[in-house]
Amino acid sequence: MKKINILLLLLSVSLSVALANKTVNLSVKGMHCGGCEVKFKSTATKIDGVQEVSAVSAANSNATIIYDEKTTTEEKLIAALAEKTGYTIAVAANAGTTVAGKPAGCCMSGKSNPSCKSADKQKCSKQKSKCAKD
């Protein structure tokens, strides 16, 4: 009988944890290479409440994140991602929830990233000169 009670308790705890997680599909503008994808994923996983970054694509300008809705909200998550990554973040299906970060790419901090292709580095240099004017 004790084993059944313990099993039921574990099942209810794991179910409540699973129900607290929510998936959000994001539009992420500003990524253009693999280095940008790595930057986004590593930054996102450090945000309180993010459980998993299940997909990031610079080519498709999107990301899928699983977060704990008891810890954070969709709006707070988007604002934190925009601030920390510098990309323009929006819920993929909802154009009304867009937050723009300061322009930043894999090359923006002056560091050269081996995953940036020469064409991407040209984009970065154009973004840098544009940022300097702003």
Q: What is the pTM of this model?
A: 0.61
40-66 pLDDT, tens digit per residue, is 999 999 999 999 999 999 999 999 999
All structural domains of the chain, each given as residue ranges with its CATH number in brackets, are: 20-103 (3.30.70.100)
Q: For residue range 24-47, what is the model confidence (pLDDT) as tens digits?
A: 999 999 998 989 999 999 999 999
With cut-offs at 50, 70 and 90, classify the pLDDT of residue 132: very low
Gap between the terminal Cα atoms of the chain: 69
- Alpha helices (H) along 60-116: 74-85
Are 38 and 113 in contact by the 8 Å Cβ rule? The answer is: no
d(Cα 80, Cα 27) in Å, to the nearest integer?
14
Cβ atoms 85, 101 nearer than 8 A: yes
pLDDT in the model for residue 92: 84
Higher-confidence residue: 51 or 13?
Answer: 51
More confident of the two residues 38 and 3: 38
